[in-house]
Amino acid sequence: MSAGYLARASERFAERGPKAIFDILSPVPSHLVNMLLDARLGNPRKSRGLYHRLIRTRENLARFPLTQGHHLVYFPFQDPTIYLGPDGTDPTHAPGPPYVRRMWAGGSLSFDDDWAEDMLLDNRAVRCIETVDSVRGSGNGNSNGVADEDSASDKVYVDVRRRYGVAPWGDKAAAATLKSSFRSSITEVRSLVFLKKRVPSSEDLALLSQPPKLNSPRKPQSDKKPDFEMELTVDAQLLFHFSALTYNAHAIHLDPEYARNVEGYRERLVHGPLTLMLLMAALRRVIPWSRFVKSIKYRNIRPLYAGDCIRICVNEKLPPPLNSPIGDRTFTAWIEGPDGQTAVTGRARVRRTPPPRAERPPGWSVQWDTVAMNKGYEAAVANTQPHIGSKW
């Protein structure tokens, strides 16, 4: 693509401006995610019991925050579906022809220290402000990332930023949302990659017609052993239900003929958001209750297909990076395909959950809280910080 193409695409995104998406934090979508994944990950009864306790009274709802990563099943595409692209994707993210094939390349996710107090599953009104941060090119081109005009392998990356937080309802509130900033509890960047239209050759089709080797022995992921791992078979039923929960009509996840004949893949692809949710689920099983995932950056580097048996792994990096805030810990997480090759990589920062805002002593800060713990001030602040003194 030319530099002019990228400039025109950037101008179109700038003209559209920010988009406000409203939703309600009902516990039902999050519960359905748990019902979809927990049985496959070894907890078939946990979700059902928690949900029934959660909805018993409104007081219970006020105690449970949104599970980290479950924001992905809220704030869906909210325009009439006739405006979806031919492949079933949101056209407002597309840079324009000839780059018409969309993939989820990766992204990042970060949480405000007080996110758990704001994003409660008590049917409160919440909002998402969506903007396009950048449009950049990559491929067989010059050092500036501008590919040759006739290159079939060049790509266009579109970074979509989403900020989530509590919101009032009403038309006036929606207009004010777009004109002013608000405190976001969750900030997400979605890196989407767009490629040119591709028609598989006869050789490609012959290769794609071969059944996948799902039971091939795993190859070790370099020499490192994970601190935690879990396996999951990503069957077609899981992909269908996840598409339904996220209101995702992208044909590459639903239609095997489209995936094979139009996109050139041997099977339907696993969703990029699903791999992020699986990384977050593995991290939640590793970290103590008194900690939360402060941020995560991840990349999808190889496709995963329907029917693949995958392995989700987590390792803690020791010692913590020198530039990390006091008390933060760093984890690496990755997903391996059935051949043992890494398909998704991630790096997460984990922080101790702060006490509720109403219970914090004057002058409290995350750094102060952690220093107090490390110096043995547990008794002095035991009433306001009950989690201090834990192993972490």
3-state helix, strand, coil in the chain (%, to 5): 30, 25, 45
What would the CATH number be for the domain defined by 1-25+66-197?
A: 3.10.129
**Whole-number pLDDT of residue 384:** 34
The tokens 């990384």 sit on which residue?
279
**Whole-number pLDDT of residue 92:** 94
Exposure b/e, 22-38, CB count within 10 A at least 16 = b: bbebebebbbbbbebbb
Mean pLDDT over residues 23-27, rounded? 92
Classify the phi-psi angles of 66: left when phi > 0, otherwise alpha if psi is within -120 to 50, otherwise beta: beta
**Whole-number pLDDT of residue 318:** 74
**Whole-number pLDDT of residue 138:** 81
Q: Average pLDDT, whole number, for the chain?
A: 81
Question: Which band of pLDDT confidence, cut at 50, 70 and 90, is reported for residue 376?
Answer: very low
**Whole-number pLDDT of residue 361:** 75
Sheet holding 309-317, edge to edge: 19-24, 125-138, 155-166, 186-196, 99-111, 291-300, 342-352, 329-336, 309-317, 228-233
Residues found in the chain: 392
Mean pLDDT over residues 287-311, rounded? 94
Render pLDDT for 174-216 as a digit per residue (tens, 0 to 9). 555 555 567 899 999 999 999 998 766 666 556 556 655 544 4
% residues pLDDT > 70 (the chain): 71
- What is the domain partition of the chain in residue ranges? 1-25+66-197, 198-353
Question: Which band of pLDDT confidence, cut at 50, 70 and 90, is reported for residue 364?
Answer: low
Higher pLDDT, 262 or 48: 262
**Whole-number pLDDT of residue 300:** 97
Question: Which band of pLDDT confidence, cut at 50, 70 and 90, is reported for residue 52?
Answer: low
Cβ contact 163:175 at 8 Å: no
Mean pLDDT over residues 30-36, rounded? 91
In this prediction the pTM is: 0.84
Which two structure tokens, joined as six digits, stand for 206?
């012959």
**Whole-number pLDDT of residue 142:** 41
The tokens 């392998």 sit on which residue?
153
**Whole-number pLDDT of residue 141:** 43
Render pLDDT for 208-244 as a digit per residue (tens, 0 to 9). 566 555 444 455 555 568 999 999 999 999 999 999 9
What would the CATH number be for the domain defined by 198-353?
A: 3.10.129.10
Mean pLDDT over residues 24-49, rounded? 80
Alpha carbon distance 337, 292 (integer Å): 27
**Whole-number pLDDT of residue 385:** 34
Mean pLDDT over residues 318-338, rounded? 80
**Whole-number pLDDT of residue 326:** 63
Which two structure tokens, joined as six digits, stand for 102?
């969309």
Which amino acid is present at 89? T
Of 72, 85, 59, nearest in space to 23 by CA: 72
Cβ contact 307:212 at 8 Å: yes
Give the CA radius of gyration of the chain. Answer: 22
Mean pLDDT over residues 276-282, rounded? 96
Ranking 271-285, 292-306, 371-385 by mean pLDDT, the lowest is 371-385
Render pLDDT for 129-179 as a digit per residue (tens, 0 to 9). 999 999 999 864 443 444 444 444 589 999 999 999 998 665 555 555 555
Question: Which band of pLDDT confidence, cut at 50, 70 and 90, is reported for residue 360?
Answer: confident
Render pLDDT for 78-123 as a digit per residue (tens, 0 to 9). 999 999 999 999 999 999 999 999 999 999 999 999 999 999 998 8
**Whole-number pLDDT of residue 41:** 86
